[in-house]
Amino acid sequence: MNIPKFVSEDVPLFNSLFNDLFPNIEMQESNNEQFLATIEAEIKKAGLVVKPEQIRKVVQLYDSKNTRHGNMLVGTSMSGKSTCWKILKNTLNTLFKDNPKKYPQVKHEVLNPKSIDLKELFGYVDGNLEWHEGVLSSMMSRLCKEESEAQRWMILDGPVDTLWIESMNTVLDDNKVLTLLNGDRISLPPQVGLVFEVEDLAVASPATVSRAGMIFLNLNDLGWRPYFQSWLAAKVK
């Protein structure tokens, strides 16, 4: 849970501290060959270049989602945030066809919370005391009421600010409940998860950060070559 949060420069420092505290113990990484091979196949199917760093981030997101229902992909544009969750989703759907008891089917919906104002996001009561449903709350309610064993991911792709993210704290903690202004409560079942795509957490409170799993994607891990190689391969075709 700690390694995914670190920038590249902090990983060697953490490993040194770990080895000092627990000498002669090696941290074992995921060794599921079928899972890793499917990730690589899905990356190739998407017309992208296979990079070990990208595969590692997909595995980290998968591990984090197995322990937390709310996770944040943090990184600048072009660092591979969208690619990370899309490849994981496609990988799980592919594995589900072969082994439905071990891997879940995944569906998703995407919303940019900053594309609308706060009232339209969570709902509001107008001057006539009539309740108007919010976009986020209606989406969450629909996903939570769906009677299916498939995982449903809410992708919140937009900047985090104190105006809307603080209202999500009760959803991100163990209560997993969103309380609306009209008194309605939306409870998240185990099949529903939240994935945030954010550039940084400069204005997020410690309460929010501590509630979510963090996966940091460093722009320098990919560099410019994979983008050029993918573009060139598409042109050659």
User: What is the span of the domain harbouring residue 46?
Assistant: 3-15+30-236
The 10s digit of each residue's pLDDT in 35-89 is 999 999 999 999 999 999 999 999 999 999 999 999 999 999 999 999 999 999 9
CB distance 156 to 194 below 8 Å: yes
Mean pLDDT, range 89-107, rounded to an integer: 95
Q: Is position 59 within any domain?
A: yes
Higher pLDDT, 73 or 19: 73
End-to-end, the C-alpha distance of the chain in Å comes to: 41
Structure tokens at 71: 């996770």
Q: Is position 23 within any domain?
A: no
Q: Is position 24 within any domain?
A: no
Q: Is position 20 within any domain?
A: no
Q: How far apart are CA 172 and CA 117, in angstroms?
A: 21
Q: Is position 42 within any domain?
A: yes
Total-model pTM: 0.90
**What is the CATH classification number for the domain harbouring 137?**
3.40.50.300
Q: How far apart are CA 102 and CA 111, in angstroms?
A: 29
Mean pLDDT, range 174-191, rounded to an integer: 91
Number of domains the chain is built from: 1
Q: Is position 131 within any domain?
A: yes
Q: Is position 21 within any domain?
A: no
pLDDT band at 30 (very low <50, low <70, confident <90, very high): low
Tell me the three state secondary structure of residue 175: coil
Q: Is position 136 within any domain?
A: yes
